[in-house]
Amino acid sequence: MKRSTLSHSLLNIILVFIESALTLLLRLDPELRKAAYPLAKQDTVVALRLYLPHVEVFASFSTKGVLLDAQLPVGRSEPDVVINAYSIQVINAITTHDSETTEKLQMRGESNQVQLVKQFIVQLGFGTLIQSLIKKIKGANDKPKPSESEMAEKKENYKLRINEQQTQINTLTIKNRELETTVKELQSKQKMLTIVTATALIIMMGSIVALIIN
């Protein structure tokens, strides 16, 4: 019982890794996405029955990708396509783009869906994943360096931007000083007005008092 549980757990781990690799392949390879699209559109379920070791895996094609499980998906009573083969045959088929190797796999199901599955397997190749990653890495490292004229142009643009920013800063500084001067002038005028008003009030009060005494 423990041995069976361990085998089932190990199978699930392997399926998770393979499913992740398939997801990555579908993102990197547009031709593989084209091959998977009609299968996903029909919600195709493929049963993969392997010998040596004896394992049964179900691949469900959907818009989310290719989902792998050790059990038939819920709501399905039987798969659309059944593949019977030795493990080494399947490994050879999915690691190469050899149509003859794929044709040797025993498949049962509706002829159109069987043909679509074959096209998907032929297009599938984990070597493509490695090649795509290498191309992406090379593409990132092989970006052409800018020429001297381009570098000079960039430097000139940077200088122009710096000069523009410096001009803006100078303009803002001048405006700030003008505002400070205006505020000081207003404060000075306010003081003078206050003094004049107070003086006028004192004179007026003095005049009133003088009139009352006389």
List phi, psi (to 5°) of 61. Answer: -90, 130
pLDDT digits (tens, 9 = 90+) for 151-178: 878 888 888 888 888 888 888 888 888 8
Query: Alpha helix (H) ranges present in the chain?
Result: 2-28, 30-41, 87-95, 99-103, 111-123, 126-141, 148-213
Q: What is the predicted pLDDT for the residue at 166?
A: 87
Q: What is the predicted pLDDT for the residue at 142?
A: 56
| Model confidence band, residue 2 (pLDDT cutoffs 50, 70, 90) | very low
Name, of 30-34, 79-83, 103-107, 203-207, the range with top average pLDDT: 79-83
**pTM of the full predicted structure?**
0.57
Strand partners of residue 3:
none
pLDDT digits (tens, 9 = 90+) for 124-138: 866 555 665 666 666
**What is the average pLDDT score of the chain?**
82
Q: What is the predicted pLDDT for the residue at 177?
A: 86
Q: What is the predicted pLDDT for the residue at 109?
A: 95
| Model confidence band, residue 5 (pLDDT cutoffs 50, 70, 90) | very low
Whether the predicted pLDDT of 199 surpasses 80: no
pLDDT digits (tens, 9 = 90+) for 76-115: 999 999 999 998 998 888 887 788 888 889 999 999 999 9
More confident residue, 213 or 82: 82
Report the pLDDT averaged over residues 188-210: 75
Q: How far apart are CA 131 and CA 126, in angstroms?
A: 9
Q: How far apart are CA 209 and CA 214, in angstroms?
A: 9
